[in-house]
Amino acid sequence: MPQQNSRQPVGQHALLRLLVACGLMLLPCLLRAEAWREESSKHFRVFYVDDAAFATAVVEWAEQYYTQITLELGLNHVVKRDYAPWLWERRCRIYLYPSRDAYLHATGSPVWSGGMVNYRQRVVYSFMGVTSFLEKTLPHELTHILFREYVGFDNARVPRWLDEGVAQYAEIGRREESLDLMRQGVAQGVYVPLEQLQRLPVNHVYAGVAQLFYSQAVSLVHFFLSQYGSQRFITFCSSLRDGYPIERALGFATAGSVRSLGELEDAWRQFIFRLP
């Protein structure tokens, strides 16, 4: 290994070779950047290579979801107060790669991935042809961004089931699908107790358990919003954001009717049983 103090001046020829090598390495990046085309709106910038019609649809659906998500979760009255507005250079960027291979190569995502998100930078990555992008992937990832901007990016008090539950709640048809599944599961005693759901390592469980986790998560969010409304849901989330433990946050949001995970689980099960 060379010593740190054994530096030698770089000659002109060596410097020229270095610049040429760097230029060759950067050339593919520059070409890729020039290949991107853009469709934009008030809150979004969609970058794509082909299929301008689909990019236009993505912009239109994204704007609709932005309004719908903030209304349904009760975030509409706090966006201007607590959020950095999604305007101008702060607009959310959506990159649609021309193929799955291009997406996987650029992002390093696992082969089963249909999309990924950078919360802090407000960037969504996906690719043309991904199944149900407009109905599932797009609202899911946008909700993750909106929700995390409100409760905090690294807030350990926000349980994984809440984060994933709100993201799925925005997907078209997902809440109805999960309620049907959980109705059968609760009737048969097949569900995860909330104390365990809080600690379940979702990335390291079997596919069946993961499916149960996600279905139960969205059904819990659906229950809370149905029973207590969006304003109390925001009280619950803001309490977690402000550092209160989940039991205290539940008590604040429900006026003391639910003060523990056990009481939340009982109320959720009764809600599931009452479904037609």
pLDDT in tens, 160-207: 999 999 999 999 999 999 999 999 999 899 999 999 998 887 766 667
* CA distances to 163, 206, 213, 262, 265 from 193, in Å: 17, 17, 10, 8, 7
Q: Which residues of the chain have pLDDT under 70?
A: 1-34, 77-84, 203-206, 276
120 shares its domain with 176: no
pLDDT on residue 223: 96
Tokens coding 59: 């912009």
pLDDT at 131: 87
Give the type of residue at 174.
R
Give the Cα separation of 53 and 42 in Å (integer): 18
Q: What pLDDT shows up at residue 114?
A: 87
In this structure, the answer to whether residues 180 and 131 fall within a common structural domain is: no
Alpha helices for the chain (secondary structure H) = 12-35, 52-72, 79-82, 100-107, 138-151, 160-169, 174-187, 194-197, 207-241, 246-253, 261-274
Q: Give residue-wise pLDDT tens across range 257-269.
A: 999 999 999 999 9
pLDDT score at 206: 66
| Same structural domain, 147 and 164 | no
* 112 shares its domain with 165: no
Same domain as 257, residue 170: yes
* Residue 105: half-sphere exposure toward Cβ, Cα within 13 Å: 8
- Please list, in sequence order, all residues whose beta carbon lies within 8 angstroms of the beta carbon of residue 172, skipping any fewer than 6 positions away: 135, 136, 139
State how many domains the chain has. 2
Residues 107 and 193 placed together within one structural domain of the fold: no
Rounded Cα distance between 162 and 208, Å, is: 19
Residues 126 and 170 in one domain: no
Same domain? 133 vs 195? no
Residue 9 within a domain: no
pLDDT at 86: 87
Regarding whether 226 and 135 lie in a shared domain, the answer is no
Domain that holds residue 229: 160-274
Q: What pLDDT score does 200 carry? A: 83
pTM: 0.82
